[in-house]
Amino acid sequence: MRTIIECVANISEGRNRASIDQIAAAVRGVPGLRLLDVSSDASHNRSVLTFVGDAAALRAGVGALFEAAVARIDLRGHRGEHPRMGAVDVVPFIPIRGSSMDDCVALSREIGAEVAHRFGIPVYLYEESASSEARRNLAEVRKGQFEGFAEKMKDPRWKPDFGPPEPHRSAGAVAMGARAFLIAYNINLGTKELAIAERIAKAIRHVSGGFRYVKAMRVELADRGIVQVSINMTNFKKTPLHRVFECVRSEAARHGVAIVGSEIVGLTPAEALYAAAEHYLRLEGFSPEQVLETKLLEE
Amino acid sequence: MRTIIECVANISEGRNRASIDQIAAAVRGVPGLRLLDVSSDASHNRSVLTFVGDAAALRAGVGALFEAAVARIDLRGHRGEHPRMGAVDVVPFIPIRGSSMDDCVALSREIGAEVAHRFGIPVYLYEESASSEARRNLAEVRKGQFEGFAEKMKDPRWKPDFGPPEPHRSAGAVAMGARAFLIAYNINLGTKELAIAERIAKAIRHVSGGFRYVKAMRVELADRGIVQVSINMTNFKKTPLHRVFECVRSEAARHGVAIVGSEIVGLTPAEALYAAAEHYLRLEGFSPEQVLETKLLEE
């Protein structure tokens, strides 16, 4: 597989196992596509389908996903803790290999236009694909949620990028866009002091002066008697894991606290780990082409 | 590819391009096999073919390799700087994924018996496959080289594991065996003092009291005005890169010298880099299954 683009589609069904399985099966059946993971959360009433392929496979896969999901999910009766505006709620495209962010922006526009036309669903481009700064942030786009969307769309500022001027009656609206791979990364501190985790989270997160591609919050791990800085690394190529780790180490040391461990939750591209090895081992002239498994992925 | 075994076959031809290409083509043509690299050295008059596959593909690939090489390489006129005893000189089998060292030992015995029978070439099992401690070391097995092998084989201690009691007249004899992946890893020191590189090499290498799976020597990088500790990591799972790096760092610091960089020469399994990232980031509960590319290799 020379070109790998990842799609992490969020659908508003996390309880009806039969529906989730049927929607997953529709995606899995697309040639050239690999469905890597399906995670469902009943309290959120939401599932996340992770699949990869090249541009053509993703186009077919997203089409199959909408066809199956729109037929099975009706937001008019939907309850769940997670905010949502559509049956298929968010569809991000993430460049992994052999594809640039620009390629993924173009792909999101292409697929967005197609979905709007084929299913009559309004499509909002977000993140790197956003047509204006106001639409970059998913939370802003989704504000009002399904129940408030007909009203929201009356405002000309919320005219969709593609599709009809009102929400689909059962499937709402959808956000699509290109974004960098997100790594969920937690760093555990050898202290019970939640205030220290809070100070460190504040030190590293973008919004309060930290790293450009870091979102962070404090978490208490009561069962282990320690605290955690819970991090979303929104662009590990520009803000790498090891730089954040070293910053947290330094900030923690200032309080006499050590890092007892860290964890990657879910998936990571190999490159994020290569970068850490490269940094600490001070590797010169390293290329992922030197990794045996990289060669095996090239066909 | 669920099972990946690597074979790094050394053949005694590094000058005749047409012969090398034909031998490589024979290997490349085997279904299920991936020829990753062909490196030739004219002064050594030797080429290294790196290919991977499962047990069945390797069996067919090694057969094709011998068929092509025995027809094209005649050691009776062979000159080169590198010691050699056979047209196909060494055939190691290296477990990469989904295959154990024991599996590779069994495979080497199977393929060794087959090659001996089919081509009339004496086969010596070495490294992990060795039938006695004396045969574990390749240099011992190869001692005498092609020219001295008929004489060497008169000694009953050098009866081959498989095949005839004398060398093949043009193709000599071959060493086959299972071994761990070898990573060529160099660490560069910010000094011109070759004596410091020598002391550090001595500190880390197995033979003089260092790490079990490390071979090391000093090298002068005259063009850069620095020295290097040049290392063969003969089992990165048991003696990992980062442990050797940290030991070299500490030994160098004792002389007031810093590590200015390190380099991996040629290929490395991804796992060796994951292990370094895991160590330095203090990752808890990390599994290669969390790496996106690992999932893509599973089929």
B40 CB contacts (<8 Å, ≥6 apart)? B13, B14, B15, B20, B46, B47, B48
Which candidate from A1, A96, A283 shows the least CB-CB separation from B264?
A283
Find how far residue A222's CA is from the centre of its chain.
28
pLDDT value at B190 more than 60: yes
Q: Look up the pTM and report it.
A: 0.82
- Report the pLDDT value the prediction gives residue B131, as an integer from 0 to 100: 96
Confidence category of residue B17, pLDDT binned at 50, 70, 90: very high
What digits encode the pLDDT tens for the residues B139-180?
999 999 999 999 999 999 999 999 999 999 999 999 999 999
Chain B residues close to A294, C-beta within 8 Å: 270, 293
Facing residue for A242 by CB, picked from B96, B281, B296:
B281
Using the structure block, give the residue that is written with the tokens 């049927």.
A22
Contacts of A281 in chain B (CB under 8 A): 241-242, 245, 262, 276
Burial of B47 (0-12, 13-18, 19+ CB in 10 A): buried
Q: Taking all residues of chain B, what is their mean pLDDT, rounded to a whole number?
A: 95
Per-residue pLDDT, A299: 55
Closest residue on chain A to B248 (Cα) = A281
Contact A284 B294 (CB under 8 A): no
Please list the rounded mean pLDDT of every run of 10 residues in chain A (299 residues): 89 96 97 92 92 96 98 94 94 93 98 98 97 93 96 96 97 97 95 97 96 94 93 94 98 97 92 97 94 80
Check residue B295 and give its pLDDT: 83
Q: Is the pLDDT of residue B294 over 90?
A: no
pLDDT at A97: 87
What is the dotted CATH code of the domain comprising B183-293? 3.30.70.670
Bridge-partner residues for A8, per DSSP?
A50
List the single residue in A259, A285, A290 with the smallest CB-CB distance to B267: A290
* Total residue count of chain B as it appears in this document: 299
Q: In B, which residues are within 8 Å of A284 by CB distance?
A: 188, 261-263
Average pLDDT of B251-269?
95
- Residues of chain A in contact with residue B288, where contact means CB-CB under 8 angstroms, are none
Tell me the pLDDT tens digit for each residue of B192-223: 999 999 999 999 999 999 999 999 999 999 89
Which option is the CATH number for A4-178: 3.40.50.10860, 3.40.640.10, 3.30.990.10, 3.40.50.300? 3.30.990.10
d(CA A126, CA A145): 16
Q: Is A72 exposed, middle or buried (0-12, 13-18, 19+ CB in 10 A)?
A: middle
Q: Spell out the residues 6+ positions from residue B280 whose beta carbon is closer than 8 angstroms to its own.
A: A242, A245, A276, A277, A279, A280, B242
Binding-site residues on chain A for chain B (CB distance < 8 A): 1, 4, 6, 34, 36, 52, 96, 188, 241-242, 245, 259-264, 266-270, 273-274, 276-286, 290-297
Chain position carrying tokens 């559509």 = A86
Cβ partners under 8 Å of residue B74, min gap 6? B87, B170, B171
Longest alpha-carbon distance in chain B? 59
B82 is catalytic: yes
Q: What is the 3-state secondary structure (H, E, C) of chain A?
A: CCCEEEEEEEECCCCCHHHHHHHHHHHHCCCCCEEEEEEEECCCCEEEEEEEECHHHHHHHHHHHHHHHHHHCCHHHCCCCCCCCECEEEEEEEEEECCCHHHHHHHHHHHHHHHHHHHCCCEEECHHHCCCHHHCCHHHHHCCHHHHHHHHCCCHHHCCCECCCCCECCCECEEEEECCCCEEEEEEECCCCHHHHHHHHHHHCHHHCCCCCEEEEEEEEHHHCEEEEEEEECCCCCCCHHHHHHHHHHHHHCCCCCEEEEEEECCECHHHHHHHHHHHCCECCCCHHHEHHHHHHCC
Nearest CA in chain B to A2: B296
pLDDT for A210 equals 95
Q: Does the structure show a pLDDT above 80 at B297?
A: no
Give per-residue pLDDT as tens, B77-111.
Answer: 999 888 999 999 999 999 998 899 999 999 999 99
- CB contact under 8 Å between A273 and B269, yes or no, is no
CB A234 within 8 A of CB A255: no
ipTM score of the complex?
Answer: 0.81
What residue ranges do the domains of chain B occupy?
4-178, 183-293
Judged by DSSP in three states, B110 sits in helix
pLDDT at res. A122: 98
Close Cβ partners of B16 (under 8 Å, ≥ 6 residues apart): B72
